[in-house]
Amino acid sequence: MEFEPTSIPDVVLIRPRVFGDERGFFLESWAETTFAGAGLGMKFVQDNHSRSGRHILRGLHYQIEQTQGKLVRVTRGSVFDVAVDIRRSSPTFGRWVGVTLSEENHHLLWVPEGFAHGFLVLSESADFLYRCTDFYAPQHERAIRWDDPQLGIRWPLPDGTVPILSQKDAAAPWFRDAEYFP
């Protein structure tokens, strides 16, 4: 596996080795010793799987308590995946990083605690998998507006296209009004 820090070094793009032939492919998506050797020693407690259609945008989500680090990947389709640093003490506070994750590139993204996370489906549909370092706690879930001008996320939407949002995401607060981490 290759571990490549993004423009926000705590967010890491992971490129697994893919072995393929006419029968299909094989890849290792998680190995505790390999990740620990790359400085990513984390313990996972919950796996999640979502399926979404084209132009569905989920996020930007985080838990203010029971914080979750997430190892994310796509097994079908393609998404634009975004992590926003919401740690006040961080030199990259308020910055974001975005990468394309797809069934073709097999990439994974490590999104540590202290980040808001979201994704936009680029393909007809996408299966999105994420391993979490803590359990889902709806009472601690928070969100930030996907289109906040202060963040300036460049979502790859066709001109004139508005993403499909949940009611909760559509009503999310602006970044300036969000709860941050220390």
Residue in 49, 61, 117, 140 annotated catalytic: 61
Phi, psi torsion values for 34, nearest 5 degrees: -65, -45
Residues 128 and 52: beta-carbon distance below 8 Å: yes
Determine the length of the chain. Answer: 182
In three-state secondary structure terms, 170 is: helix
In this structure, are residues 88 and 179 in contact, taking their beta carbons and an 8 Å threshold?
Answer: no
Nearest in space to 17 (alpha carbons), one of 3, 38, 36: 3
Asked whether 116 and 174 are in contact (CB, 8 A), the reply is: no
Active site residue 107: no
- Phi, psi (degrees; rounded to nearest 5) at 93: -55, 130
Whether 61 is a known active-site residue: answer: yes
Catalytic residue from among 62, 117, 130, 180: 130
Known catalytic residues are 61, 130
